[in-house]
Every structure is written in C-alpha cells, then in structure tokens.
Structure 1
Amino acid sequence: MMTDCDFLVVGHGIAGATLAYVLRERGHRVLVYDPGQESSASNVAAGLMNPVAGKRFALTWQAAELLPFAAAFYRELEQRYQQSFFTETPIFKIFASVEEQNAMLARSADNPWGDFVAGFDTTDPGLPGVNAPFGGAWLRHGGHVAVRELLAALAAEGTRDGWLRRETFDWNQLVFEPAGAEYAGQVRARHVICCEGAAAVRNPYFNWLPLTPNQGEVLDVQCPGLSPDQVLNRGAYVVPVGAGRFRVGATYRWPPFADGPTAVGREELAARLTVVTDLPFAVTGQRAGVRPAVRDRRPLLGPHPTVPALSFCGGYGSKGVMLAPRMAMLLADFLINQAELWPDASLQRYQALQPAGVH
C-alpha cells in the first residue's frame, strides 16, 4: 500500500520535529522517519537558550529575532500538549577575575548586548552556594527547554496519528521522479527534507556540506542548597531542573568520538562545577551526544543544488533550541511560498563544495 505525503522528513530531533510541526500546522501531509536514538544530540541537550555566550561574551547571532520567536513557539506547544517545556529564567554569568569584570564593564558602555544584559554585580551578590567573589553579569530573555520531554510529546502524537515511523531511513532506496520522490516502494512524497543532525556527514546527497560534528557530555547532579533561581555560567552552565537537581554541561570533543559517556568528561564537568560552588554534590546521571556543528557556526537550510525535490535543515550546533523554531518557519516559507532564505543561513553559501558529477 503506497502512502502519499507532501513532505517526507528524515529525522525527529529538534530540527526535524519543529519543521514537521510547522508543516503540519499549515495543513500539509507530513511523514517522518526516525529510529528513536536515546543518545541523539537533542535528547542529551540541556536545552539552554542563551543570548550572550562564549568566552568573548558575544551576542548570539540574530538573538533579537530568534529568542522571542522561540519562546512564543514553545509556549504554543505547552498550550497544545498541556505540559511545561520552556522555563524563562535569568542567566548569571560569573566573572572569573577583576580583569574580566573590568573588560565587561568597559564594553558595556557601547551597549553591544542591547536589552539582553539586565545589569552587573561588581561584588559577590550572595547567591546561596555560589562562588562569585568578582560578581557577574545578569542576562535576561533566556532560559531552558525540556527538549527530551518536548520531543517525546510530539513523538507520542506522531505514533498515535501515524505520521511518525520509528525506522532507520535508507537513502539508497530513495528514487527521485519529475513530481517528487518515491521511497522503498512504500511512500510517494512531493519533497524530502534531511534533518539528520550530525549523521548527515554520511548522507550520500549532503556529505559535501561542511558539517564538523562534535561530541558533548552533560551531567545530572543533586546539589541541595545551591541557588535554583537562575542558570549559572562560568566555564560550564548549571541549569536548575527542580528539587535540588541541576544539569551541568557541556564538553566539546572533536573526532574520534568515544562510544557514549566517558570518565574524562565526568571529571571535567565535575571540576567545572566545583569552581561554581563549594557545596557537595552527587552525580546522578551522565549522557553524551554528537552535535551537528558547522565551521562558520551558522545553520544550513535550503534546497539541494541539483535535486529540486530535496532540501536540508540543520547544522544548529549547540544552539538547537534557539534556532529551530525560526529556521523551521524560514524553510517552510521557502518550500511553500518560495520566500527568500536568509543568505547567512542558506546552504547555497557552500554550493562550491559540491563535487562535480555526484548527487
């Protein structure tokens, strides 16, 4: 029995799940293939939405557009599923030294962070259990998303309604035709979209894209007494998840990757947490996943250069929860209405990398 759909989406991490949702909400028939890996980057992620990040304390790309859009999107999903997914919370960036404090205060005169920096503490603000002798910067309009729970809610609906198939997609069984594509003699689709995350490095149609996967690990810890009213950030993020529990992350490891969580990752994250707090803590869990990073730290969206019925959506790196809703809308507008993609998010910027004479 042949299944007809408008869009066949391969992958149900944060990129594929948000895109499939947007397309379904617009009334299109969507079919999603995903094997359901526990160790996918989206399932491992702490879901942090941070407007100002990194050692350079730089404003995240397109933060003023991405953050409010993402917050509204996750609130919509909360209403739909009657679950809590998004927690808007202050982020306290702890200064490591007087020099760092002075540098941040000097930069703040130019207001490079817009509305996202709420203010500075130049002395220890006295947060319970937090080491911050040099103070820190308070960021607003950020927060964290319960990615695993969000994807589970969407997947439960997909399994029930038949639009999600828990199978590994075999790209060798995909045949493109003038009107779209046929898959394994089972599915006809007008358009196919690859949302495979880091696995796209092995995709026969997109393995020329400059994806540079990196592995990240996170710890779940119990730390009673540590202030739960904000995300803490100094060398690692410490995200409160309720009842004295926190998620601590994340490491960055380039290939070759370990097979799952490592003792080295655990020690590194535990050491970073001891810089943030002197309180005793117990590690209750540890997870590892591989992020789909891109060399210029921008997403990859858009059509395959030579296969009109095929597109790509991903390359979000560590910014998946922040990027995914707006990028899904952007790609949906392109696919349905031929709207322009943002040039610095379009995979066309790398079209010269596609080898001649192959897919």
Structure 2
Amino acid sequence: MTDCDFLVVGHGIAGATLAYVLRERGHRVLVYDPGQHNSASNVAAGLMNPVAGKRFALTWRAAELLPFATAFYRELGQRYGQAFFTETPIFKLFSSLEEQNAILARSADHPWEGFMAGLATADPDLAGVHAPFGGAWLRGGGHVAVRQLLAALAAEGTRDGWLRRETFDWTRLATATTGAVYAGQVRARHVVCCEGAVAAHNPYFSWLPLTPNKGEVLDVTCAGLSTAQVLNRGAYVVPVEAERFRVGATYRWPPFTEGPTAVGREELAARLAVLTDLPFAVVDQQAGVRPAVRDRRPLVGPHPTVPCLSFCGGYGSKGVMLAPRLASLLADCLEGHGEMWPDASLQRYNALQPANVI
C-alpha cells in the first residue's frame, strides 16, 4: 500500500501547480495523469494578459493574480534552469477610430490600474504590424512556455516516483471521512480532482456547471514581423522564437469535432492577416479542450458532502494566470488555515449537487 497526504488527479497547469505547492510545503503528493500531448495546457500559448476582450476590461483580480504568477514562474525557472516566463509588452490594437475614441475617453478614469503603459493614437510603426488606428500598450503581462514547464515537472515526477502516467478510474476510489483508498493500492488523506474538461464526466463532480470549450492554435513563421511584443486584436500573436509565432485562439462550444480543423485554420489565418501584410506560413496546428464555467470564474474548493475530496479547475483560457495563486489558496484550505475566495469557490454551485452522489 502506498501512503500519501494528497492524491492529485491531473497534471495540467492546475494539477501541476497544486502538486508543486503541496510538495514545497513538505506534503507527500502522488499525481495521476495519462500524459496527453494535446491537453489544453500543452496546447496553450501561456499568455498572461491584464486587459482582455473587445471591451478592454481589466482581467478578474489581475492586480493580485499577475504579480503572484510572475514570481511563481520565475521561481520555477530558477529551480529548473529554464526561462519558462517571458515578460513582454502587449500591444492591443484598436480596430476602428470609434474604438480608439471610446478607450481614450475611458482612460481618464484609470480603469486599468497600473497595467496601461500608454495609448497610441496613430500607427506605432512596429515592424510588419498593420495598426492604422493605434492601440494600447499593456505592461505586467507576458507568456509562459507551458509545455516545457509541465515537461520539466513531469520529468522530475517520473524520476522521483510521485507521478504515475496512468488514467485514474474514479469508480475504484473508496472514500471515507478520514481519507480515501484507490484501487486497494493507494491510501490518501485527501484527493483533488484537477482533470480539466474531462471532469465534466467525473461521478463526484459532474453536477458542476463545467462545459468543454475547444480552442485551436496555429504556429506560423513570418519573416520581418516584430517579436518585441505580443499582438492582440481578435487573436493573440505570441513570439515563440525568431520568426516563429503562436496565433490563437478559436472558441467552440459543443458540439464540436475533435482535433484541428480546416475551419479553425482559416479563421486564425484570417485574423493574422488583419494584423500584418507580411506573408506567413502555417507550420503546425493544434487543438485542445478547455474547462469553461458559465460565469467565467474558476471552481476551487472542497466537495460539499465528501470531506476527503476537493476540486481545482474551471480555468478556461486563463489557466496560466490563475493557477499559481489559486493553488496557494487551496493548499491553505487543505491545511486548515485558509478560505477560498467566494467568487472562485465551487460552493456557489452547491445547490446543483444531486442527493445521490456516490
């Protein structure tokens, strides 16, 4: 029998950050993950953007989430000798003169706290970028090499024995007030579900309002396009290396087909063509399925009726920014000396739980 304090199911960005935080606090952690190369976390460009959407709205809790995430990924980079996080300005292009005027009017009230670095009312003359109406310069964000980060953690987990590349079977979990036993082989004080969109079919958590949302991304080469910033207008363009960029992302609600599609490729190529007049070539296309929630807030915290279970997910397209802080908060809760933010707690949906949860 293997004994552990916490059994974490899933090693995407949510599960990996939680497992790391718990291990750093001295807990015995065991992680189960099947190792899917096309998981939402592995496909993601890892963008951390303080101002999102067509309305230029400040991202939820950005003032706390962004600095925490930045420090977290830099710490991981130092530990593993890799530069996982790249801090870079984000240039959010205006789509019209009307949008430019609207944002200029709103800027007088400083709605973006300290994340707005400046406003350009004319084309800033970035190499290869078509921005006739100017745009907004954002600071404090950047992007994370998520696939490389998860690979580094997984390599350590495989070497040290805390990561098992297996699909977790929830029907083989026996729960009790004091803990749980899995498959008659693993005994854990607490089990945390971090399965991403797959959790919509979890017998303990299927009542949560979690909806799969498919996203596709392109990797393109484009000689001459500026790599000094992330571009954002209808799509993000994240510099990956010299002359190579990741362009994303599409949003598809069910029903959707699995894997990359010609429609997704055409949509993203068209969005990129709005941002640059330079020729580009698509060298790769990937698709993943995000775990989305109806109110666009994460779902984190203990199961309402099974004391040894918790949930950590529902991050949607903001997982890289959300994961570090929420992992720390959940770890506090699991240790018995903290509370989850009410607007992130799954308790706001407790009324949806059926009476016959296994």
Counterpart code for 1:5: C
Aligned to 2:270: 271
Give 1:340 shift. 1.2
Please give the secondary structure, in 1, of the residue aligned with 2:192: strand
Aligned to 2:182: 183
Aligned to 1:245: 244
Counterparts of 1:210-225 in structure 2, within 5 Å, are 210-225=209-224
Give 1:243 shift. 1.1
Aligned to 2:306: 307
CA distance in 1 between partners of 2:48 and 2:167 (Å): 30
Give 1:269 shift. 0.2
CA distance in 1 between partners of 2:313 and 2:273 (Å): 34
Q: Which moved more, 1:311-320 or 1:333-342?
A: 333-342
CA distance in 2 between partners of 1:337 and 1:72 (Å): 25
Is 1:9 the equivalent of 2:8?
yes
Counterpart code for 1:66: L
Q: Which moved more, 1:213-222 or 1:250-259?
A: 250-259
Aligned to 2:47: 48
Please give the secondary structure, in 2, of the residue aligned with 1:292: strand
Give deviations 1:46-82, integer Å, cap 9, x for gaps.
Answer: 0000000001110000000000000000000001000
Aligned to 1:209: 208
Aligned to 1:116: 115
CA distance in 2 between partners of 1:275 and 1:11 (Å): 38
Please give the secondary structure, in 2, of the residue aligned with 1:293: strand
Is 1:295 the equivalent of 2:290?
no
Give 1:177 shift. 2.5
Give 1:258 shift. 1.3
Please give the secondary structure, in 2, of the residue aligned with 1:337: coil
Give 1:354 shift. 0.5
Give 1:238 shift. 0.2
Tell me, yes or no, if the aligned pair for 2:213 and 2:251 is still in contact at 8 Å: yes
Is 1:169 the equivalent of 2:168?
yes
CA distance in 1 between partners of 2:160 and 2:20 (Å): 13
Aligned to 1:342: 341
**Gap regions ≥5 residues in structure 2:** none
Please give the secondary structure, in 2, of the residue aligned with 1:92: strand
CA distance in 1 between partners of 2:355 and 2:2 (Å): 34
Aligned to 1:323: 322
CA distance in 1 between partners of 2:151 and 2:264 (Å): 27
CA distance in 2 between partners of 1:311 and 1:223 (Å): 45
Tell me, yes or no, if the aligned pair for 2:177 and 2:306 is still in contact at 8 Å: no
Please give the secondary structure, in 2, of the residue aligned with 1:157: helix
Aligned to 2:18: 19
Counterpart code for 2:45: A
Give 1:242 shift. 1.2
Counterpart code for 1:126: D
Give 1:179 shift. 2.2
Counterpart code for 2:70: A
Aligned to 1:65: 64
Please give the secondary structure, in 1, of the residue aligned with 2:339: coil
CA distance in 2 between partners of 1:132 and 1:260 (Å): 32
Point out 4+ residue stretches in structure 1 off by more than 6 angstroms: none
Aligned to 1:283: 282
CA distance in 1 between partners of 2:334 and 2:289 (Å): 28
Is 1:35 the equivalent of 2:34?
yes
Please give the secondary structure, in 1, of the residue aligned with 2:331: helix
Counterpart code for 1:116: F
Give deviations 1:169-198, integer Å, cap 9, x for gaps.
Answer: 000000012420000011000000000000
Counterpart code for 2:279: P
CA distance in 2 between partners of 1:356 and 1:190 (Å): 24
CA distance in 2 between partners of 1:357 and 1:179 (Å): 20
Counterpart code for 1:121: A
CA distance in 1 between partners of 2:95 and 2:256 (Å): 30
Aligned to 1:196: 195
Alignment: residue pair count: 358
CA distance in 1 between partners of 2:105 and 2:127 (Å): 28
Give deviations 1:238-268, integer Å, cap 9, x for gaps.
Answer: 0001110000000000111212000000000
TM-score using structure 2 length: 0.99
Aligned to 1:156: 155
Give 1:357 shift. 2.6
CA distance in 2 between partners of 1:36 and 1:257 (Å): 23
Aligned to 2:99: 100
CA distance in 1 between partners of 2:287 and 2:48 (Å): 19
TM-score using structure 1 length: 0.99
Counterpart code for 2:62: A
CA distance in 1 between partners of 2:107 and 2:88 (Å): 22
Is 1:136 the equivalent of 2:123?
no
Please give the secondary structure, in 1, of the residue aligned with 2:325: helix
Aligned to 1:125: 124
Counterpart code for 1:148: R
Tell me, yes or no, if the aligned pair for 2:5 and 2:28 is still in contact at 8 Å: yes
